[in-house]
Amino acid sequence: MVDVLITFNIRILCYWIKMKSLLISLPFILAATFAGAAEYELKLHHFYVKEDVPQKQMLEPWAREVEKLTNNRVKITIIPRMKLGGRPKDLVKQASEGRITDLIWTVNTYTGKTFIRSEVFELPFIHTNDPVATNLAMREMFESDLKEDYEKQNLEVMFLHVHQGHAFLSKKDEIRKPEDLKGKRMRVPGRIHAWIAEELDSITINTTVRQIPQVLQRNVANTILITSSIVGPLRLEQHINSMTEGHESTRFANAVFSVSMNKDRWNSLPPDIQSAFRKASDKSFLRRIGNVWYDYEKPGIERLIQYKKKHFVLTEAETKAFEEKLKPVTERWIKEVEKEGIDGRKLVNKARKLIKKHEE
């Protein structure tokens, strides 16, 4: 009987010691657990590959800066290549609804004229050769002139940006004047760019970026309006003979990109978290990514030269000939947006003025 009592007491003592140790360590365990879990976990869905410059040098640094500024209360998981489902044109809808993703990075042209006011920066020769200046001009115009279209889609814009702009990549013929594009089958990225092709008497070809090598190989298209940054990823040196850009690297058009959040998700965030997103997307960030996209062009041009392809930089007079030829595109856009109650000429003049201001 004594042995039984001793054994029982020893077990109680051991149990009490274990419980005391657990109670002492519990606050530290809980603290460690909650320290490792973010209060706000967000998904950023996009269409491009994860290994290339857009994610590595723009999206990832931006997301990490937001996390840093919030002391890791926010965690942003970047999901590339439409891995949450859908096609690139579905990204805006996904963010608007907020069920699949919280944030998106997309190209506005994927959704037609949904962001019609922002199209002013895609028109020929509005942007010329400086992504930094265009980024800052869009930022300055956003609240007063561009915001409404995004609000209609239930989106809160983090930032807008452009790339270096579109050049002509040709399969066979040299392109030095507008007449050289007559009758060419031109792959274009969006509706404004289709107007450019029409004005140059080219035949418009609409395909995804991934299909470009295929349409060139099959002679569906023999000219591409696109940036040289895509040369390496698509190995376009295998399909094209030359690239043409304007005087001092002037490009013939551009595309507007946006990083946006579901508006309801945004409204659910406290003011200090919202402030962190704003700070991470400030002017200094837009300057930096403008330079990133400017530099992103160089490897493509170098690759073309390496493979003995021709790189034409037009003279000032040759560039002016394209500018004159494409003026009707801008006038067409102004007339179209006027039907929507938008003063297109005012937007064009303001965009040009602000880009010039930020170039200086």
Report whether pLDDT(17) > 70. no
With 0.85 as the threshold, say if the pTM is over it: yes
Name the residue ranges covered by the structural domains of the chain: 39-115+128-162+255-295, 167-253+299-359
In this structure, of 16-25, 218-227, 327-336, the range with the lowest mean pLDDT score is 16-25
Report whether pLDDT(30) > 70. no
* pLDDT of amino acid 11: 54
* pLDDT of amino acid 215: 97
Taking all residues of the chain, what is their mean pLDDT, rounded to a whole number?
93
39-115+128-162+255-295 maps to which CATH number? 3.40.190.170
**How confident is the model over 87-117, as pLDDT tens digits?**
999 999 999 999 999 999 999 999 999 999 9
* pLDDT of amino acid 37: 81
Matching CATH topology for 39-115+128-162+255-295 and 167-253+299-359?
yes
Report whether pLDDT(7) > 60. no
Handedness of CA 85, 86, 87, 93 (dihedral sign): negative
Percent of the chain past pLDDT 90, that is, above it, reads 89
CATH architecture of 167-253+299-359: 3-Layer(aba) Sandwich (3.40)
pLDDT greater at residue 13 or residue 49: 49
Helix and strand tally (H, E) in the chain? 16, 11
Query: C-alpha distances in angstroms, 99 versus 81, 82, 94?
Result: 18, 15, 7
